[in-house]
Chains A and B, each alone.
Chain A
Amino acid sequence: MPPQQLFMKEKTMNKAEFIEKLKVAINTDFDLESTTVLADLPEWDSLASVCVITMFEDELHKNLDYATLDKVKTVQDLLDIAGISA
């Protein structure tokens, strides 16, 4: 048997696309900048964090866990994890 590729390959997107998806995941109307601190958003709560993890899974095929997310402060931190540069 040849090795099977079961897991989907990681995907990527540009910064503007990422921020648009992130806004939907967090369910916020605020304009997100790289420097935006997630904890400052009124919508940032446990549900928003699940949605961000799900967004990473669906849109980037990347496994983001709470242990990693706990260290995240800004939108830039998420961009770094997603591997998206300016």
Chain B
Amino acid sequence: MAETYFRHAAVKGVCTVVPAGRICLDDECCYYDNAAKVARLKTTVGLNERAVVEAKTTPADLMQYAAERMMKDMKLDANTIDALICVLDNPDYKCPPTACVLHGKLGLPETCMAFDINHGCAGYVYGLNVAFSMVESGYKRILLLVGDTKSTTVNIKDRVSAPIFGDGAAATLLERTQDVEESWFVIGAKGKDYENIMIPAGGARLPYSPETAKETTDEFGQTRSLNNFRMNGRNVFDFTMNVVPKNIEATIKYAAKDVADIDYFVLHQANKSIVQNVASRIGVTDKRKVPVETLAKYGNLAVASVPSVLNDVLFEQLQNKKMTVLLSGFGVGLAYGSVILTLDHVYAPSTIVYEGKNHE
């Protein structure tokens, strides 16, 4: 696992946006044998409602909305931003990068670098690590945008993935600090297991075709095409339980801290049993320190799920206090990573509902 340490970079703002649309699991009983199964899914996996975009709204639309809101509220001069990083795996175009499209739409200056990172559930921590490295080496102000609209890539008849994921995006502002602000990252990937979470078709390896659009039903009764997102839930569960507690432990040790030093453990909201099992494994007994509430409200927001916890559950503390938090992401790749950092009176509004137009 790669360990990196920073002394002059800090998160100054974070803003999460979700679409207004909701699908409730109670309205999807037709996909299950009986209502009791739906009730058990709600208590065990923690599902209830999930946020879904209207047709034609893309991750980039949500990301732009989050960035504009943050820039307006923080009265940011666009000319002071010297890098824009977008983390997503569902870009508006195969070329150019979404970051370049949004660079134009947000009115960023020519002096501002713009690029994408193709990542999913571990992507927020990956993006932060890249941004922190850049700030430490001279960039002064970086805008990090993350977003996904999984509801548009899953098959509604695939009950492994469809009921879990919601749509959302987040903007984060990072700045170089004069005072010492320490942060510790421990990051890793297990690329040999990449096939456990993927969209097989649509890339150079397997372009979209009438053939890839054909739906098939697997041995567990789940229906999807090669154009759809797919996940081997069992293997991903095992991966998570084998890797994430160790990664979190390694991060705490690298920072020479103790579980008790961490005010909040903000884990990727994969599902309730995963978050609670990881919490139990690392020995956090106070459940309030490991929030899991956003899952039932918005679903698993993939790359935006870690910031959604910050804005939905911890926004008051973030605005009014200085806190030590551990953020941890894991998923697509299969990739994982954690960071311990200080969040000191940051701009963090409660989760915002997207009211943008559907862009053509």
Contact = CB atoms under 8 A, between A and B. Distances in A.
Q: Which of A8, A45, A50, A61 has the most CB of B within 10 A?
A: A50
A47 B252 contact: no
B242 A65 contact: yes
A47 B41 contact: yes
B321 interface: no
Contacts of A47: 37, 40-41, 44-45
B31 interface: no
Interface stretch (B73-81, B87-95, B280-288, B346-354): B280-288
A20 interface: no
Nearest to B236: A66
Contacts of A54: 44, 273, 276-277
B237 interface: yes
B235 interface: yes
A85 interface: no
B235 A4 contact: no
Interface residues of A, number: 20
A46 B259 CA distance: 32
A24 to B, nearest CB: 12
Contact of B252 (A4, A46, A65): A4
Interface string A1-33: 100101110000000000000000001000000
A7 B233 CA distance: 25
Given A1-B256, A4-B252, A57 B281 contact: yes
Nearest to B233: A46
Given A7-B281, A8-B280, A53-B237, 16 more contacts: A4-B253, A4-B258, A6-B252, A6-B259, A6-B283, A7-B283, A8-B281, A46-B220, A47-B37, A47-B40, A50-B44, A53-B273, A63-B241, A65-B238, A65-B241, A66-B234
Interface of B: 37, 40-41, 44-45, 220, 233-235, 237-238, 241-242, 245, 249, 252-253, 256, 258-259, 273, 276-277, 280-283
Q: Which 4 A-B pairs have the closest CB atoms?
A: A66-B234, A65-B238, A57-B277, A8-B283
Interface of A: 1, 4, 6-8, 27, 45-47, 50-51, 53-54, 57-58, 61, 63, 65-67
